[in-house]
A and B are shown apart, each in its own frame.
Chain A
Amino acid sequence: MTEYFEVHERDGAARVGELRLDFEAVAGDADSDTDSNPNSVPDRTPPQTTPALVDDVLEDAGSLWSAEREFPEGDESALTVLPHRSFPGGTADEVQDSFAVDYPDVEFPSVAVVSSDHVDDHGTDAYAVSDVQSFTGHGAGLVEAVVNVREEIPTDTALFFSGVATPRNVALLAYAGVDLFDRTAAIVKGIEGRYLTTDEAYFLEDLEELPCSCPACQQPREEFTREDCVDHNVNALEAELGIVRRRIRDGRLRDYVEGQARQDQWLTAAMRELDSQWGYLEERTPILRDAQIDAATEDTLRRVEIQRYADRVTTRYQNRFKNPLVLVPCSAAKPYSESQSHRQFHDAIQWRAHLVSMTSPIGVVPQELETTYPAQHYDTVVTGRWSEDEKQFVSEVLRRYLERNEYPKIIAHVPNEGYRDIVGRVEEELDLDITYTVNEHPTDDESLANLSEALSGELKYSKREREHNTVRAIADYLLGDGAGDDLFEDIQTTSRYPKIQVRDREDTQLATMVPQYGTLSFTLAGARRWVDSDAPVKRVEIDGFVPHGSVLAPGVVEADEEIRVGDEVVVEGPKAFGVGRAEMFGREMAESSRGIAAEIRHVEEK
């Protein structure tokens, strides 16, 4: 529980937060000691917005290994590290257990020191990790440590890594879930003669020119000293943190890290290890974003958003059409149905078949889910060359999809490069009989004629059936296997795709399809139907008040652990029933003492 730290933006495990200190007092202090401290850098903005460097606001009450300590009085303008006994890497369990320190509850901003393998919730606002030097530099070690600490400390507290942040690694560290850093490593490296950039730690003596134009580097190379190198390193670190904060706000840190992590092997290893921590990362990853996913590396396939879509399409979604299946290639334009190529496919198919697009990195996209995040929110690098990883991924998803959904006939209208190979693998594995209709290119006249011919005699499905199945499919995807039938068995739809409105027989609106994310937003009537259905309800239980606009975390009594950022949620308490969108994941809503848990769309008093 913290009063002095609040998370405002989330992007996976990374957060933009606010240190709620008395910054006027901080500014006053900083002015007075710029002269005395050679390493202080004047005119820095106070670290109000995290991820940030907190040197200027950190007070260390001291280690209990070396001396007894007077308990600090604390100060609203500083993060006080409470008297602690740190356990460096390699400290045996028995020693950690018997020398553990109790941290009393305090009324001022405080930091507890924990080791990555002995973590407890001490009720402080932030946690410093004592064995940072042991796992920084090792991908698996770092990830194990961050996940271990993060899973034990409350979600609304800040995680502090002292003495390790560099311009090169800080994006990955923030991506993993670290909020607070300091200048220490940048200063130590600088004074050792290492010139830090986002791509390297250059030996200063090897540089003929300074590859930077920060204020410290505005001088002739021969006059540039190690003290200047310290200033440059800190500048470079600050600049990188600025990019990291921007990226988190944009929901695009992962895309940045996929590139930045290439600058050091262990950073790429850490990113990949983190992808294997499905539980940790999935819980923190929103189900929708405005931002595009850049599918530019092999690692994109391992992203939670991609894996989650593939997982839900093959375990929650079900095809409700009785028509044949046509597999088609994806298109650059999104949603696919608006592309040139897909218009031509459509002209040939004429609603006589269920359309499923194959794509890397998404896998397979049934027509009903073509707008659902991230199916229309990615941009891939188009070369026509498929890697073996991509082929394996897409064929695995296609296989699982076809195991779950049966069709009277399967037509593959796919180009020969990559696609054909994938379909062929699955055809053999599942012992299917697939009709191939592409001659040279999917949109050449002969191929399109083949496609139309393959569907001759098939009946068209109606617009009504199409729209009903679309909202049911989205309900499956968002709420769980079978939810589409549970909620929307007996409905009518109005308005035009993709802004379909769902109504009951009495014409009461239940939900609207949200075209930009391919989700549903419920009305109160829709929420009630959800609550009454067999589908799992993402419920936020609140205290006895009627929320308007936002539900703040302190008002949350309990929240379903399945809730993800962006999820539709039912908000209910003794005095109110409402529906809205989650701004935190479920456990975070329940654990946090500050911040917006959900935005309310409709509410009524009980």
Chain B
Amino acid sequence: MSQPTPEVYEQGKGMDAHNQVMREIRSRKEASYDPHEPTRVWLDEDNTPTGVKQSLTIILNTGGCRWARAGGCTMCGYVAESVDGGSVSHEALMNQIDVCLEHERENGDEPADLIKIYTSGSFLDEREVGAETRRAIADTFADRERMVVESLPDFVDREKIGDFTQHGVDTDVAIGLETATDRVRHDCVNKYFDFADFEDACAEAAAADEEAGATADAGIKAYLLMKPPFLTESEAVEDMISSVERCAAVEGCHTVSMNPCNVQRYTMVDDLYFNDGYRPPWLWSVAHVLEETADIDAIVVSDPVGHGSDRGPHNCQECDDLVQKAIKDFDLRQDPSVFEQVSCECERTWEVVMERERSFNQPLTR
């Protein structure tokens, strides 16, 4: 964790270019958001190390991602959903939490066992969410079984995790690693930390786990991105298989969430997509990676967003819902035989694309 702030990361020609372009792209959107409302909140169910749980997912509006303000990741449009400029106050953040609890009461039968908090930034970055707010939120959810909070690896330390585990809540830090391949993370995603930083964060989580003893578990949930811009379908698949394997091999990382890229507005990916230079991955690719990595020692899940649409991961339209269902089924059961139940003529097309797509003829299909 040699480079603690995004400002310091901003170095190197490729990154300058990516940032310059992304700043321009993002500037096309003019919108402002109420700091007293969360960006989004929804109920779902999730596979955790202790089984499938009802979950409440909160996307907290914390003033947005600092890195995105510098330019940021090539596929990420969430920054556009954050308040302009400065940070969000303790009171406003707690108002957002109240809105989420209200949502849960209205839409859920009982309090969710699992609380997931994302910020489009780093929940553990104290410039985004101060220590006071973090502890207040930890207190709010002290009666739940498990929490997931999102953070860049730099901000993961055992004391901050301890704020949650002290209540006996199992705590995971979700890290948007995107890929274990530094080259792809830097040049295609424009995200500037290394796999080594992720490993360090996992070590912090492992230490927090140790310190919490029997009262609670702590660990890391790695988020991977399938098919950032500039990769062919087969390169993307290969990158994911090796990334899942490498993440699962790190102590402290018990879950890998491997998610296909979708085309969000006001991103570099959107510009490529608009010019026929990008196609989101095939759902067959997602299924293939899950199948190939099914025997490793970690939970591997995937939650394709916008499946079946042109802007989301898709096959041929005919089989999108079936394959999506198999993926969600796999998420809960971790049984690769679910993929034997689905087949479609377009699987051969996917195979041909895997074999023949090159960076100088992509995308081969729409």
Which of B235, B360, B365 touches A66 (beta carbons < 8 Å)?
A: B235
Tell me what chain B mostly uses at the interface: helix, strand, loop, or mixed. helix
B: contact size bracket: 35 or more
Asked whether B356 lies within 8 Å of A88 as measured between CB atoms, the reply is no
Give chain B residues whose Cβ lies under 8 Å from the Cβ of A164: 361
Contact among B20, B239, B355, B364 with A163 in the assembled complex (CB-CB below 8 Å): B364
> Is the CB of A67 closer than 8 A to any CB of chain B?
yes
CB pair B275–A84 under 8 Å, yes or no, is: no
> When the two chains form their complex, are residues A90 and B361 in contact, meaning their CB atoms are under 8 A apart?
no
| Residue contact A92 to B361, C-beta cutoff 8 Å | no
Tell whether A89 is near chain B: CB-to-CB under 8 Å. yes
Q: Are B359 and A94 in contact (CB under 8 A)?
A: no
**Interface residue stretch chosen among A183-191, A320-328, A361-369:** A183-191
Contacts of A39 in B (CB 8 A): 352, 355-356
Interface residues of B in 1-56 (CB under 8 A from A): 13-14, 16-18, 20-21, 24
Which one of A89, A130, A191, A226 lies within 8 Å of B359 (CB-CB)? Answer: A130
Q: How large is the interface on A (under 10, 10 to 19, 20 to 34, 35 or more residues)?
A: 35 or more
Asked if A65 and B188 make an inter-chain contact with CB atoms under 8 angstroms apart, the answer reads: yes
Q: Which of B17, B276, B353 contacts A133 (CB 8 A)?
A: B276
Q: Is A81 an interface residue (CB 8 A)?
A: yes
Determine if B337 is an interface residue (Cβ-Cβ < 8 Å).
no
Cα separation A84 to B361 with both chains bound (whole Å): 13
How far, in angstroms, from A66 to B229 measured CA to CA in the complex? 11
Task: Report A370 CB to chain B, min CB distance, Å.
Answer: 50
**B268 CB–A CB distance under 8 Å:** yes
Q: Does A534 contact B (CB under 8 A)?
A: no
Q: Which B residues are CB-close (under 8 A) to A133?
A: 276-277, 361-364
A128 within 8 A of B: yes
> Given the known A-B contacts A65-B235, A188-B349, A188-B364, are A97 and B183 also in contact in the complex, defined by CB atoms under 8 Å?
no
Enumerate B199-243 residues with CB–CB distance to A below 8 Å: 229-232, 235, 238-239
In the complex, chain A residues whose CB is within 8 Å of the CB of B362: 86, 88, 133, 163
In the complex, B345 has a CB within 8 A of chain A? yes
Say whether B330 faces chain A, with CB atoms less than 8 Å apart: no
For residue B19, which residue of chain A has the nearest CB?
A: A94
Chain A residues, CB < 8 A from B239: 66
With a CB–CB cut-off of 8 A, which chain A residues contact B361?
A: 132-133, 162-164, 182, 184
On whether the beta carbons of A191 and B360 are closer than 8 Å, the reply is no
Q: Which of A88, A134, A193 has the most CB of B within 10 A?
A: A88
> CB < 8 Å: which of A65, A90, A191, A193 contacts B277?
A90
A125 to chain B, nearest CB (A): 15
Q: Evaluate contact between B365 and A88: CB separation under 8 angstroms.
A: no
CB of B197 within 8 Å of the partner chain: no
Judge whether A605 is part of the interface by a CB distance below 8 angstroms: no
Q: In this complex, which of A63, A81, A97 has the most chain B Cβ atoms within 10 angstroms of its Cβ?
A: A63
Q: Is A495 interfacial (CB 8 A cutoff)?
A: no
Quote the shortest CB–CB distance from A192 to chain B (angstroms): 5
In the bound complex, how far is the Cα of B21 from the Cα of A97, in angstroms? 12
CB of B234 to closest CB in A, whole Å: 9
Is there a chain A Cβ closer than 8 Å to B271's Cβ?
A: yes
Q: Mark A168-190, 1 if CB is under 8 A from B, else 0.
A: 00000000000000101101100
Q: Which of B14, B278, B352 contacts A98 (CB 8 A)?
A: B14
How far does the alpha carbon of A191 sit from the alpha carbon of B355 in the complex, in Å? Answer: 13
Task: Kindly state whether residue A131 has any CB partner on chain B within 8 Å.
Answer: yes
Task: Say if the beta carbon of A113 comes within 8 Å of chain B.
Answer: yes
List chain B residues, Cβ under 8 A from A188.
349, 352-353, 356, 364-365
Considering only CB atoms, which chain A residue lies closest to B279 in the complex? A133
Residues 35-94 (chain A) with a chain B CB within 8 angstroms: 39, 60, 63, 65-68, 81, 84-92, 94
Contact status of A98 and B277, CB under 8 A, knowing A188-B353, A192-B365: no
Q: Report the minimal beta-carbon distance from B179 to chain A, rounded to whole angstroms.
A: 10
Alpha-carbon separation in the docked complex, A246 to B310 (Å): 41
From A90, A98, A185, B271 is in contact (CB under 8 Å) with A90
Q: Decide if B356 touches A184 in the complex (CB within 8 Å).
A: yes
Given A90-B273, A98-B13, A192:B349 Cβ within 8 A: yes
Instruction: Tell me if A88 and B17 are in contact (CB < 8 A).
Output: no
A63 touches B235 (CB 8 A): yes
**Residues from chain B with Cβ under 8 Å of A86 in the complex:** 230, 358-360, 362
**Could you tell me if A226 and B345 are in contact, using CB atoms closer than 8 angstroms?**
yes
- The listed residue (B13, B18, B235, B272) touching A90 by CB distance below 8 A is B272
Q: Indicate whether A349 reaches chain B with its CB closer than 8 angstroms.
A: no
Which residues of B are found within 8 Å of A185, using beta-carbon distances?
Answer: 364
- A87–B348 alpha-carbon span in the complex (Å): 27
Contact A85 B275 (CB under 8 A): no
A94–B21 CB distance below 8 A: yes
Contact between chains at B274 and A90 (CB < 8 Å): yes
Expressed in whole angstroms, the Cα–Cα distance for A88 and B268 within the complex equals 12
Taking a contact as CB atoms under 8 Å apart, the answer to whether A68 and B183 are in contact is: yes
Q: Is B94 an interface residue (CB 8 A)?
A: no
A86 to B239, CA, bound (A): 17
Interface residues in chain B, defined as those with a beta carbon under 8 Å from any beta carbon in chain A:
13-14, 16-18, 20-21, 24, 181, 183-184, 187-188, 229-232, 235, 238-239, 268, 271-278, 345-346, 348-349, 352-353, 355-365
* Given A63-B358, A65-B230, A67-B181, 7 new contacts (CB under 8 A): A65-B187, A88-B272, A88-B275, A88-B362, A91-B272, A131-B275, A184-B356
A-B contact pairs, 5 of them (CB 8 A): A39-B352, A81-B358, A91-B277, A92-B21, A193-B345
The 3 A-B residue pairs whose C-beta atoms are closest, nearest first, are A163-B361, A90-B275, A88-B277
